[in-house]
Amino acid sequence: MLGTLVNAGAILFGGLLGLLLKKGLPERVTEAVMKGVALCVLYIGIDGCLEGSNTLAAIISMVLGVIVGTLLDLDGRLCSLGNFLEHKLKSGGGGISNAFVTASLLFCVGAMAVVGSLQSGLTGNHTMLYTKALLDGISALVFAAGLGLGVMLSAVAVLLYQGAITLLAQALSPILSDPVIAEMTCVGSLLIIGLGLNMLGAIKLKIMNFVPAIFFAIAVSYLF
């Protein structure tokens, strides 16, 4: 769990620095920074998509995943959690909720979260999660400067998500071969692209409803 704890701590630290930085920046600057970050998120997603080798597997995983996610209303549930946290912190306007959802998705749907957590649980090697912690800390700084306090709350989502994978690593390792992880990376990267487009205001996707597609990629990969 050490790697996950460091990752969550980096998000908190980066978010705190971002909040301090935000106070000294004009709003037009923070908005411009967020657009720049959105373009970087798109780049990360496009680069990750190249890991996959079977387009049909990605399509089937995405269709099955969004059906399940929409029926379960995962996006609505995550937004409700964000709204609950916002209410508890006595902040209105949806700012905290939006920041929490956006940052949680960005930090959790990437391949490094899955692979790094598996390595941490199986071998005690935290190198990948330390690398992710550095990247997430920098992202949290920039995101918090643009979106505010909710970014720091995403550390809880990272702690629970990556912590669960780390603890279940022994059970998951036999089924997560390199080809399977590649397809999971491809599908997760498609979600990151959608997240980047949301940040740019180009579209409005309920990204959380697509998240089950990452796990459907495991079963679909074995079919091919």
Higher pLDDT, 215 or 122: 215
The pLDDT-based confidence of 9 (bands split at 50, 70, 90) is very high
- What is the percent of the chain where pLDDT is above 90? 12
**Quick check: 66 pLDDT over 90?**
yes
Instruction: Taking residues 42-54, report their average pLDDT.
Output: 82
User: What is the sign, positive or negative, of the torsion defined by CA atoms of 187, 192, 193, 194?
Assistant: positive
Number of structural domains the chain divides into: 1
Average pLDDT over residues 200-224: 84
Q: Give the confidence band of 71 by pLDDT, cuts at 50, 70, 90.
A: very high
65 pLDDT higher than 60 = yes
User: Rounded mean pLDDT of 39-44?
Assistant: 82
Q: Using the predicted structure, report yes or no on whether residue 24 has a pLDDT greater than 70.
A: no
Q: How far apart are CA 219 and CA 183, in angstroms?
A: 10
**Better-scored residue on pLDDT, 155 or 116:** 155
For residues 185-197, average pLDDT: 84
Q: What is the pTM of this model?
A: 0.75
Percent of the chain with pLDDT over 70: 93
Give 100-153 pLDDT, tens digit per residue. 888 888 788 766 787 788 778 877 888 878 988 888 888 888 888 877 788 888
Residue pair 127/139 in contact (Cβ under 8 Å)? The answer is no
pLDDT (0 to 100) of residue 27 = 73
- What's the chain's average pLDDT? 82
Please state, in angstroms and rounded to a whole number, the distance separating the CA atoms of residues 217 and 181: 9
Answer for the pair 150, 96: CB distance below 8 angstroms, yes or no. Answer: yes
Other beta carbons within 10 angstroms of residue 186's beta carbon come to 24
| Integer Cα distance of 14 and 1 in angstroms | 20
The full DSSP string for the chain is -HHHHHHHHHHHHHHHHHHHHHTTS-HHHHHHHHHHHHHHHHHHHHHHHTT---HHHHHHHHHHHHHHHHHHTHHHHHHHHHHHHHHHTT--TTHHHHHHHHHHHHHHSSHHHHHHHHHHHHH---HHHHHHHHHHHHHHHHHHHHH-THHHHHHHHHHHHHHHHHHTHHHHTTT--HHHHHHHHHHHHHHHHHHHHHHHTS----GGGGTHHHHHHHHHHHH-
Full residue range of the structural domain in which residue 214 is found:
2-223
pLDDT, greater one: 12 or 93: 12
pLDDT of residue 134: 85
Which tokens belong to 148? 């505010």
Q: What is the pLDDT of residue 95?
A: 67
The reported pLDDT for the residue numbered 86 is 67
